[in-house]
Amino acid sequence: MSKKTGTLKRNFHAEAVLGPELSARLPQTKVLLVGAGGIGCELLKNIVLAGFGHITLLDLDTIDLSNLNRQFLFRKKDVKQSKALVAAKTAAAFNPNVRITPIHGNIKEPQFDIAWFRGFDIVLNALDNLDARRHVNKMCLAANVPLVESGTAGYLGQVQPIVKDRTECFDCVPKPTPKTFPVCTIRSTPSQPIHCIVWAKSYLIPQLFGEDEDSGGELDEAEKQGENAQEIATLRKEAQAFKVVRSLLRTTTESGESDAAKRAFEKVFHSDILNLLSMADMWKSRAPPTPLEFDAIRKGTFKLDKDSAQTNGTSNANGSARNGSKSAPGNTAAPENTPNDSQAASTSKPSLKDQRALTLQDSLELFVSSTNKLAARLQAGEDTISFDKDDDDTLDFVTAASNLRSAAYGIAGKTRWEVKEMAGNIIPAIATTNAIISGLIVLQAFHLLRKSYNKLRNVHVQFKPTMPLSSISMSPANPDCGICRDTYTELLCDPSRVTLGEVVSGILGENTRDVSVYEDKRVLSDPDWDDNLERTLESLNVTRGKFLSIVDDDGEYETIQVGIGALPPNHSVDESSFILPNPLPSPPKKVKPAPPAPSTPPPPQSKKRPAPDDGEAPSAKRPRTVDDASFTPSKRRRLEDDGLILLDSADEVIDDDAVIVID
């Protein structure tokens, strides 16, 4: 204790800062930390040193080499090991008074149900994707456990404390949807590097190395419908050619040599482009692409059509150089690789592999070598391969294929690093931002544990030298939020025995009314369609950890979210297959929205639908027109999330230009 001997006790400073009450409570505090990545490592260090007594650390991933620059609890020897396990082991040594329970798993697994979440005093999110963050938000609302939500993107970061009924939840403010591109831009008329990267990642990889999607039936159907026979014949030829290449990629040859890569190249960069060129109308107002020639590129004798290269290349090269690479560390000097660089193969200087501009010849060789590697993996037993930014073979393939396509369309090329950044939607992570955010998370956690709700703040780290931190007082929940405004309850049951009908009538009790029932975005029943009510939850794939949403069809009551939990271990199989919550949930009445204006035509009567195939749970995909009043926020949100377009009146016109999503 005395200064002389230098033996102040370990938590001397923490006690001074936190005060005796909270510091006495911390050793008993149970905290769940979800994510052991950039923020997670910093945060684990903070809460271990602060003395949070019982820490459960959960992460689904293993350590990647690229994590080591900032995830300082990991060393090179730990690469490929579980993040949660290694982080827990390293951090445990910082404070012997703390117990860390690592879990290598996905937070969405069924065993992490409401009862499990309820076992924590506080939850801290250190996640990197919306889906998992939304899930934890919902589980914390259901379990009534405070959550601190956080995220960083480069120099920017934010911390958001969430307490049910006191603050906004993670979903109160809509999040921007991922960027989308029209399918025809991706498939036929790319004009920017990103179009070619999305094509390679989301179209070509699945076609060559993904699941076999037989388009034959679809084309037969189109033919029957009387669609353009010539175009169908062309598509059939294209599909057939993919089949041949797919099977070549999966066939081992005796010599070990295969021309599968060359055949793939000739199909996508030569024949398909020739086919497109034959549709003359397409190229009236835009520069036509140039079919590439495998042997000529290899020999260095291939010449690109300068005109087309110039038309697309110049404008896009400038734009993409500025937009695409601003955040990549160290790549500002990376030369913009125009297609005409193919002539300068011999002048390309070797530099760091990832940041070197590729010539056309380089791209072709990389295409061949990566295709061969991926083919070898299929032959060795891998079922399907999809793009993963940390899988070198798929990254090489996407780098090569997108650069070849860019060359054919006169678009500027991209380095492997830039492709990784764009295809993997990578925002560079900055250790210092993670550290600042982690410190702020702990401060908000202290306010929550003390129940000092008036001290809670949403804090932002921003790129403003005059005010790098901004803190905003908490806003109340959004009254239209389809997540936190719902009424949560829990049903303990055996999903293999209890039926959907039993759950719905049990939960509604005496308040029988017209309802629709959802699981996530799937409609399981509605007032016109009761076929599933006799089925067990298990047969409808509604299992522990999931929610059934009971939505009042007249929009009079708030939605009831029924979390599915397990029966207690001592519950005998001879007893009832479920235990209802006590008391039953009583959702508040909603304030009715104003009736639609007289000019609005009434929605058409809904029609009874046929039951879906027995083996499969039904999907929510059905066209429907609605008036605002009949769709509760939760229902509207679920439908919109699912890509359904809600028409506010029957005569509203929709723009049906198909889009694909980069995730």
Ligand X SMILES: Nc1ncnc2c1ncn2[C@@H]1O[C@H](COP(=O)(O)OP(=O)(O)OP(=O)(O)O)[C@@H](O)[C@H]1O
123 binds ligand X (CB under 6 A): no
- Tokens describing residue 438: 């982690």
Stretch that binds ligand X, among 23-31, 121-129, 294-302, 597-605 (CB under 6 A): 121-129
83 binds, among ligand X, Zn ion, none (CB under 5 to 8 A by kind): ligand X
The residues with which 214 forms a beta bridge, in sequence order, are none
Interacting residues with Zn ion between 483 and 512 (CB under 5 A): 483-484
Position 172 contacts Zn ion (CB under 5 A): yes
Of the candidates 140, 184, 196, 493, the residue annotated as catalytic is: 184
**Residue 450 assigned to a binding site:** no
For ligand X, the binding residue among 30, 108, 263, 590 (CB under 6 A) is 108
| Smallest gap from residue 325 Cβ to ligand X (A) | 17
Q: CB of residue 481 vs ligand X: minimum separation in angstroms?
A: 22
Residue 157 interacting with ligand X (CB under 6 A):
no
- Where in 585-604 is the site for ligand X (CB under 6 A)? none
Angle among Cα 262, 363, 387 to the nearest 5 degrees reads 85
- Stretch near ligand X under the rule CB under 6 A, chosen from 101-109, 189-197, 396-404, 637-645: 101-109
Distance between CA atoms of residues 386 and 208, nearest Å: 10
249 vs 206: CA distance, rounded Å: 13
Pick from 60, 204, 437, 567 the residue near ligand X by CB under 6 A: 60
Question: Does residue 587 contact residue 558 with C-beta atoms inside 8 Å?
Answer: yes
CB 34 to ligand X: min, Å = 6
Contact between 297 and Zn ion per CB under 5 A = no
Q: How many residues bind ligand X (CB under 6 A)?
A: 21
63 vs 484 by CB, closer to ligand X:
63
Single out the segment in contact with ligand X by CB under 6 A; choices: 105-113, 283-291, 359-367, 582-590.
Answer: 105-113
Q: Tell which positions 73-92 bind ligand X, by CB under 6 A.
A: 83
Q: How far is the CB of 432 from ligand X (least distance, A)?
A: 14
Cα 377 from Cα 392, distance rounded (Å): 13
* 276, 317, 419, 429: residue in contact with ligand X (rule CB under 6 A): 429
Selected binder of ligand X within 28, 69, 106, 253 (CB under 6 A): 106
Q: How far apart are the C-alpha atoms of 484 and 491, rounded to whole Å? A: 19
Using the 8-state DSSP alphabet, how is residue 198 labeled? H
Q: Where do we find the tokens 């929009």?
A: 555
In sequence order, what are the residues at sequence separation of 6 or more whose Cβ sits closer than 8 angstroms to the Cβ of residue 632? 482, 551, 552, 555, 558, 559, 590
Pairing type for strands 156-162 and 147-153 reads antiparallel
293-304 burial: b if 16+ Cβ within 10 Å, else e: bbeebeeeebeb
Q: How far apart are CA 136 and CA 148, in angstroms?
A: 10
Q: Is the peptide bond before 583 cis (omega within 30 degrees of 0)?
A: yes
Q: Considering CB distances under 5 to 8 angstroms, the limit depending on partner class, which of ligand X, Zn ion, none binds residue 484?
A: Zn ion
**Residue 197 C-beta: closest distance to ligand X, Å:** 18
Q: Is 154 within any annotated ligand binding site?
A: no
| Cβ neighbours for 228, distance < 8 A, ≥ 6 positions apart | none
Whether the Cβ atoms of residue 156 and residue 461 lie closer than 8 Å to each other: yes
Half-sphere exposure of 311 (CA within 13 A, CB side): 15
> Is 140 assigned a catalytic role?
no
Should residue 34 be labelled a site residue for Zn ion when binding is judged by CB under 5 A? Answer: no
- Span of 12-20, 127-135, 465-473, 479-487 interacting with ligand X by CB under 6 A: 127-135
Residue-level length of the chain:
663
With CB under 5 to 8 Å by kind, the binding choice for 106 among ligand X, Zn ion, none is: ligand X
Q: Does 147 bind Zn ion (CB under 5 A)?
A: no
Which residues lie below 8 Å from residue 104, measured CB to CB, with a gap of 6+?
Answer: 59, 60, 82, 83, 84, 85
Cβ proximity to ligand X: between 129 and 452 the closer is: 129
Q: Which stretch binds Zn ion (CB under 5 A): 72-80, 171-179, 378-386, 499-507?
A: 171-179
* Cβ neighbours around 306 below 10 Å, total: 13
Which member of 58, 142, 442, 564 binds ligand X (CB under 6 A)? 58
Q: Which amino acid is at 645?
A: I
28 binds ligand X (CB under 6 A): no
User: Residue 487: which of 573, 588, 379 has the closest Cα?
Assistant: 588
User: What is the number of the residue whose Cβ is closest to ligand X?
Assistant: 37
Choosing among Zn ion, ligand X, none, which partner's interface includes residue 100 (Cβ < 5 to 8 Å by kind)?
Answer: none
Stretch that binds ligand X, among 102-110, 196-204, 212-220, 577-585 (CB under 6 A): 102-110
- Which of 32, 38, 48, 445 touches ligand X by CB under 6 A? 38
Query: How many whole angstroms separate alpha carbon 473 and alpha carbon 457?
Result: 5
- Residue 140 interacts with ligand X (CB under 6 A)? no
How far is 236 from 230, CA to CA, in rounded Å? 10
Say which entry of Zn ion, ligand X, none residue 482 contacts (CB below 5 to 8 A, set by partner kind).
Answer: none
**130 near ligand X (CB under 6 A):** no
**Could you say which residues in the range 445-484 bind ligand X, by CB under 6 A?**
none
357, 408, 441, 481: which one contacts Zn ion (CB under 5 A)?
A: 481
Write the CB contacts of 531 (distance below 8 Å, at least 6 apart in sequence): 525, 611
Which of residues 67, 160, 403, 406 is near ligand X by CB under 6 A? 67
Report in angstroms how near the CB of residue 155 gets to ligand X at its nearest: 15
- Integer angstrom CA distances of residue 626 from 596, 602, 605, 630: 11, 8, 10, 7
Is 68 annotated in a binding site? The answer is yes
Dihedral of CA 296/301/307/312: which sign? positive
Put the strands of the sheet holding 578-579 in their side by side order: 522-525, 515-519, 547-552, 560-566, 487-493, 578-579
Residue 423 CB, nearest distance to ligand X (Å)? 13
Stretch that binds ligand X, among 36-44, 183-191, 309-317, 340-348 (CB under 6 A): 36-44
From ligand X, Zn ion, none, which one binds at residue 164 (CB under 5 to 8 Å depending on kind)?
none
Question: Does residue 53 have a known ligand-binding role?
Answer: no
Q: How far is the CB of 81 from ligand X (least distance, A)?
A: 13
Closest alpha carbon to 546 in 527, 570, 524, 568: 524
Q: Quick check: 400 binds Zn ion (CB under 5 A)? A: no
* Cα distance between residue 292 and residue 285, in whole Å: 22
Q: How far apart are CA 564 and CA 545, in angstroms?
A: 6
140 or 492: whose CB is closer to Zn ion?
140
State how far the Cα of 483 lies from the Cα of 320, in Å rounded to an integer: 39
Say which entry of ligand X, Zn ion, none residue 169 contacts (CB below 5 to 8 A, set by partner kind): Zn ion
Q: Which residues are catalytic?
A: 184
Q: Contact residues for ligand X (CB under 6 A)?
A: 34-38, 40, 58-61, 66-67, 83, 106-108, 127-129, 132, 429
Known binding positions for Zn(2+): 169, 172, 481, 484
Known binding positions for ATP: 35-40, 59, 67-70, 83, 128-133
Q: Contact residues for Zn ion (CB under 5 A)?
A: 169, 171-172, 481, 483-484
